[in-house]
Structure 1
């Protein structure tokens, strides 16, 4: 283990980062020099939840050739049966990361295979194929994802913010809330920085116990890998200090939900942002390609919502009108505007920010879907219309309708129906994947609809 420390006692940035361009032998040496005993061969299920097998270091080379085998029917959403061939994960060296919160372990992602063919329902494969479509045009997608989460603890049989003093009615950017979260935030940030993930800001969000950590944008597949690693680290570090770090979109009705806003640009082979154009007459610094991509996002917004806001609970966050929490940063209006946080898409100069998704999304599937919609917009030269630089929260539904602005689905059921009716995603991401997603999510909706909530008991048990 690299024992070099900064004056504050933490590891310097990138101290445990995997050196670029490692050969198989150099990777083995790197792992041995850092005291690694096990390497996790990893993939995510259709929900984006990390799945793993621990492989002793003396079998490391096999991960790069044969891969690690999994009974595919044991994972949610791989669309496999118990009698079928194994699901194999052939790991890729450029995904290798140490796990500072578990010093004897390292993590690797890779290609999901069945009978030596890329499995069509492995969402990392699905994203890779969409990026290949982009590469054929000489382009790549850069994304920056902004995960929000809430730190809770169990107290008296209830879940409450982990810090008893975090009680402000308007807690956004509160210094005390940020400072008193350091027992969790500091080791988490040190972990990310130690493996070369560049954290550039941390803040306390609107809800009590709610935070956001932002790290530098990257090529889209790498960003999705980083989000998965981030969630793994956050869950285990919080567990070690006796708290719960939840990425549930809306754990409390009286508090803002946890979103995952996605910033995106397309870059050409010279590294130029092709979404940027200073001659934009609208003053937002967007190129024609960016506007067409945006047109695709808006055109497919209802179906896209099912994949970016994928749970029953997501639609407690995506609400029309006043929110019980008093503030919402989850716009449901199919529109865009210049730095307009009340529209589905905000335009920071020269790039797009899609604000619909929440922290429960599968980052691979969400990114692939977003890219498919955007490419459709480019191919069909879809016009997003004029921007709306207004506060949608101040308008009535009648006023919004008069602007010819649609509303996003308000339940998971509505979003699934939109996904069924939009052929783009089955055609581009694969019918097998979309059918599997729809089946699992329809079952989730049915289970929810048949369950009896505490709200119902409180309201009806003694009323009738």
Structure 2
């Protein structure tokens, strides 16, 4: 590795509780010339303006203006008020892969008010609902990704050309031969004070996962956004493509983004944990009710956690070389059961529906809304299912009273549109905008004639 990537852990971490004067001193000490004023669009894609560091005061006090009509999903017309991003000093981070640059997330404001269709604002609103009850949602988000390269004919293949095993999960060689990329991303994150604790080769050729320590929901979403930026830029420098596409190849497992969830009280105690749980899952009555809410709203929730046409190539009942897709479509929960939509790793829950194409702000806002509905209505998730659903026939699954998730984006969007809960919790304007955009995406896909169709039907009739 080159010296420029040999960062000490926490060496570039932003001190806590910065005021403007301390922030200016911090940026000067690290020779920062520009601060990226950032937000995400409806898809969770980072958007930015570069602000010269001598205008930091304006970014924090007044904000930076954007033409909202040029951004997906803000529902702003060209003649309407500007979309303003007012920087939040608590989110200030250096960008080790881009010396001289830092980033700052902000609050999206339109007409002097927080814009309700800004998905980061939406998550903050749901977090505030939890805070009213003395709770904080802690989440550990696990983004999977594919490290690829483009070939001369325009197709893509694993960046490591020797990564060809039929079952490559945890393979030493697959991990070692892309170590430059993995180390550069990991060292960048750790230098910023983000605790990376595991790195592995996943189930598909060219597929990896970098895990960082759990945090409150808003911090987790900000970290995922930063991680995607780092991974994309480091890959680009190496001549690779870091893809978060849910299903890059039909024969491989897809890129999931599992979310581990627990609620903490004001003292930091995990109130999802109960050692006396009769089911042996370590869950409290609160955790069961929260889980029940997620299961109850699972079909509509899927549109927000698996938000693309491609997502539903991952969410299928079927087999890959490893024997499973690792993307369960069964609306159920169980003890360490990776074939159910919700796994219980003891004392917390893991939502396995989401993929790496999701917006982490939107996804977590929706999970809070669904979970709190379960708590408020004291819903019961029923008994846990500790069975391999992939080994059951469809009739056997139905006999257990288990339904499945939507099979296409079109079906999922219809469920979301019909959901009174999400229309109320996330806002009718947002749901209408999301549904409109996703129906357009589905329509474009549905009208496209694929290579499979040409091969299948050209001379068939």
TM-score by length of 2: 0.98
Counterpart of 2:26? 30
1:341-367 Cα shifts (integer Å, max 9, x gaps): 000000011000000000000000000
The answer as to 2:269 corresponding to 1:272 is: yes
Q: 1:332 to 1:294 in 2, by over 3 A?
A: same
Q: What SS does structure 2 have at the residue aligned with 1:361?
A: coil
Match of 1:181 among 178, 182, 185: 178
Q: 1:95 to 1:69 in 2, by over 3 A?
A: same
Asked whether the 8 Å contact 2:318–2:325 carries over to 1, the reply is no
Counterpart of 2:206? 209
Match of 1:190 among 176, 187, 202: 187
Match of 1:200 among 183, 190, 197: 197
Once the two structures are superposed, the pairs formed by residues 259-298 of structure 1 within 5 Å of their partners are: 259-298=256-295
* Structure 2: distance between partners of 1:166 and 1:125: 41
The answer as to 2:395 corresponding to 1:398 is: yes
Match of 1:369 among 363, 366, 370: 366
1:323-354 Cα shifts (integer Å, max 9, x gaps): 58742110000000000000000001100000
**Aligned-pair distance for 1:116?**
1.2
Q: What SS does structure 2 have at the residue aligned with 1:376?
A: helix
The answer as to 2:53 corresponding to 1:21 is: no
Match of 2:324 among 323, 327, 344: 327
Counterpart of 1:97? 93
Q: What SS does structure 1 have at the residue aligned with 2:254?
A: coil
1:67-98 Cα shifts (integer Å, max 9, x gaps): 01000000000000000010000010000000
* Structure 2: distance between partners of 1:266 and 1:323: 35
Q: 1:103 to 1:7 in 2, by over 3 A?
A: closer
**Aligned-pair distance for 1:40?**
0.3
Asked whether the 8 Å contact 1:255–1:325 carries over to 2, the reply is no
**Aligned-pair distance for 1:7?**
11
**Aligned-pair distance for 1:110?**
1.0
The answer as to 2:457 corresponding to 1:455 is: no
* Structure 2: distance between partners of 1:250 and 1:114: 36
Counterpart of 1:77? 73
* Structure 1: distance between partners of 2:64 and 2:171: 46
Q: What SS does structure 2 have at the residue aligned with 1:372?
A: helix
Q: 1:325 to 1:62 in 2, by over 3 A?
A: same
1:220-264 Cα shifts (integer Å, max 9, x gaps): 000000000000110111001000000000010011100000001
* Structure 2: distance between partners of 1:454 and 1:24: 56
The answer as to 2:245 corresponding to 1:248 is: yes
**Aligned-pair distance for 1:369?**
0.2
1:24-75 Cα shifts (integer Å, max 9, x gaps): 0110111111011000000000000000000001111101011010000000
Asked whether the 8 Å contact 1:253–1:325 carries over to 2, the reply is no
* Structure 2: distance between partners of 1:458 and 1:92: 53
Unpaired runs of at least 5, structure 1: none
**Aligned-pair distance for 1:6?**
13
* Structure 1: distance between partners of 2:323 and 2:291: 29
Number of residue-to-residue matches in the alignment: 460
Asked whether the 8 Å contact 2:148–2:157 carries over to 1, the reply is yes
**Aligned-pair distance for 1:462?**
3.2
The answer as to 2:35 corresponding to 1:55 is: no
**Aligned-pair distance for 1:169?**
0.3
TM-score by length of 1: 0.97
**Aligned-pair distance for 1:322?**
3.5
Moved over 6 A (4+): 5-9
1:127-152 Cα shifts (integer Å, max 9, x gaps): 00000000000111000000000011
Match of 1:115 among 89, 111, 121: 111
RMSD between aligned residues: 1.4
* Structure 2: distance between partners of 1:463 and 1:264: 50
* Structure 2: distance between partners of 1:105 and 1:322: 45
* Structure 2: distance between partners of 1:48 and 1:8: 30
Unpaired runs of at least 5, structure 2: none
Asked whether the 8 Å contact 1:254–1:325 carries over to 2, the reply is no
Q: What SS does structure 1 have at the residue aligned with 2:310?
A: helix
